[in-house]
Chains A and B, each alone.
Chain A
Amino acid sequence: MSWFQFSFPDFCYAFISILLEGVPFVLLGTLLSGLIDQFLPAKFLYRILPKNRGASILVSGLVGLVLPMCECGIVPVIRRLIRKGLSIPSAVTYMLSAPIVNPIVAVSTFMAFKGQSALEMTSLRLGLGYLIAVGVGFVVLRLKPETILRESALPDAEETDRHSHHEHEHEHEHEHAPGLATRLRLALAAAVTDFLDVIVFFVLGAMIAATFNTAVDQTVILPLALDTTLATFALMGLAGILTLCSTSDAFVAATLTAFPPVAKLAFLVFGPMMDVKLAFIYSALFRKRFVIGLAVALFLVIGVVCVRLSFLRL
């Protein structure tokens, strides 16, 4: 049997199921982004996050504990937060950590791995997820914003854009303190724009994910389970094409009993940070080169770290 057998009806079935599962969360994220746009004061984040950028990254990696977001809905939220003054390194850290370092994922991972060193696996998942996200944040700290964000998402471009409104020939009075109804309407408009922007990428990602999800013979990776290194990278590859939600992926990982625990750990850390669907969603905010670099770096770093952790007897 070939390792790749495409069936259009199966593709459509998986495609629709991914959409039905993910769209409500993308919508939630975009509604939240609209509210952030209109109701979160611009200086609010400056006040609550540490002024030191390194400390801000460290704190951002833990924000998911109080503001949990799934990987599907987080991009529109951080896009708005960046425009509201959140530094890009802190935003990237939050984006990568929140789908893992949050109480829902902690509970689901613990439940899924009962009888399989649940406490250790849960702690390692959250701990490694945090460290990887913070590490990426510190790397991003060294990069120029224009090498990370798409031009339209750059905070400066946004500011320029806003200022340019006042330079138009047909300028008129803008309300500086619009009423609640107006602000809600503007929040709706922002949410609509964000939803349509992100959902285009989500659809493309879901199409790729559905193709691999249905056409690839997933049993071909079973022989790789015997070698820790191959097993680790194979399960990360599997996470990349399965595009599971971080709240439920542990239940799937726990069934991969032929694979060593560190390979399952890699599956659980890599999957919520990067998969084919997320790569497209990230492209709504980040430059293509940054997304590719992030994917490669996460794949290699998480893989190597997990292989190095194989001395742990989980």
Chain B
Amino acid sequence: MTAIVRRGMSAVSLATWGAILTYFYVTRRVNDYLHPTFQIYVFLAGLVLLAMAAGTLLFPAEHTHEGEECCGHEHDRIRFSHWVAFFVLTVPVVVATIVSPSQFSATIVENRGIVSTLDGLPGAQARYAEPPLPGSTDSGEPVNTGDYLSRSADGVIQAEAVDLLYAAEDADLRKDFDGKEVEMVGQYMPAKANNPTGNRFNLIRMFVVCCAADARPLGIAVESTKSERPAEMSWLRIRGKATFPVEGGRPTPVIEAQSIEPAEPPEESFIY
């Protein structure tokens, strides 16, 4: 294999990675894969890789200590054969980029188990300790917490799964939701546990610490008299009354659904 072909393969590999990383960032598809903290690194890495690809093509090294081209010849120092390495570097990442649905299936939710209490929420202990929750001050005095809640145009509280899990653990915070009409967007999953009357399902949101690989499904129970059930992991907008019945010795968030509609996935499908 000539040095030129080898250099071309390196440049194509680098350009492929650079283009894919940049593509994920520019199209905001990265939102479905990474915590916002890490997203800018993807973009910067993409640009650097594209620059490295250009540099590899335009400025061939005259002398390196790594066994590439040197003195007009090359030393074979790569462990895999060049073509196999080229294949591994380019094909899987391109195929996965095309095939990846940008969300997990119901199998993953079942494999990881639905988190329905604050104990299973990554980072909950840290957040619970400080800063103080909206429902209390450092001295423990209750305060008016209504201001922090986001509402729809018609004044309905827009709740996240995390809000209701925290509310289940904190009496002051619970007052902001208990018995009030809330709206929540999430993905449908049947309730295989904690379903005493058989009319419940789970509304799921994926909670991410770092990237989708560590995503944990948070589930809020929804009670509905409708017998018709949507497809697993389809996105729904639920409106209903937030309740916190004591189940298993602890308040458990349950939404008594008044309306259930199909919904578009939110711009950021994860919660953090």
**Chain B residues with CB below 8 A from A174, complex form:** 63
A165 within 8 Å of B by Cβ?
Answer: yes
Q: Identify which of A47-55, A132-140, A186-194, A295-303 touches chain B.
A: A186-194
**Chain B residues with CB below 8 A from A158, complex form:** 65
Mask of A205-225 contacts with B, CB within 8 angstroms, 1/0:
001011001111111001000
Give the interface residue-count category, chain A: 35 or more
In the complex, the answer to whether B211 meets A23 with C-beta atoms within 8 Å is no
**Chain B residues with CB below 8 A from A40, complex form:** none
A59 within 8 Å of B by Cβ?
Answer: no
A-B contact count (CB 8 A): 220
Q: Which residue of B93, B119, B130, B216 is within 8 Å of A19 (Cβ)?
A: B93
In the complex, the answer to whether B52 meets A192 with C-beta atoms within 8 Å is yes
In the complex, the answer to whether A13 meets B89 with C-beta atoms within 8 Å is no
Kindly state the separation between the CA atoms of A312 and B79 in the bound complex, as whole angstroms: 46
Evaluate whether A17 and B71 lie within 8 angstroms (CB atoms) in the complex, with A152-B77, A219-B112, A257-B120 already known: no
Mask of B204-223 contacts with A, CB within 8 angstroms, 1/0:
00000111111010000000
B-to-A contact residues, CB < 8 Å: 10, 13-14, 17, 21, 24, 30, 33-34, 38, 41-42, 44-45, 48-49, 52, 55-56, 59, 61, 63-68, 70-72, 75, 77-80, 85, 88-89, 92-93, 95-97, 99-105, 107-108, 110-113, 115, 119-126, 128-130, 209-214, 216
A-to-B contact residues, CB < 8 Å: 1, 5, 7-21, 23-25, 27, 31, 37, 83, 111-116, 150, 152, 158, 161-162, 165, 168, 170-172, 174, 185-186, 188-197, 199-200, 203-204, 207, 209-210, 213-219, 222, 242-245, 247-248, 251-252, 254-255, 257, 284
Residue contacts A-B, CB under 8 angstroms, 19 given:
A9-B105, A12-B100, A13-B100, A13-B103, A14-B213, A16-B100, A21-B211, A23-B17, A27-B48, A37-B65, A114-B125, A170-B72, A172-B71, A185-B61, A192-B52, A200-B80, A218-B111, A219-B112, A247-B210
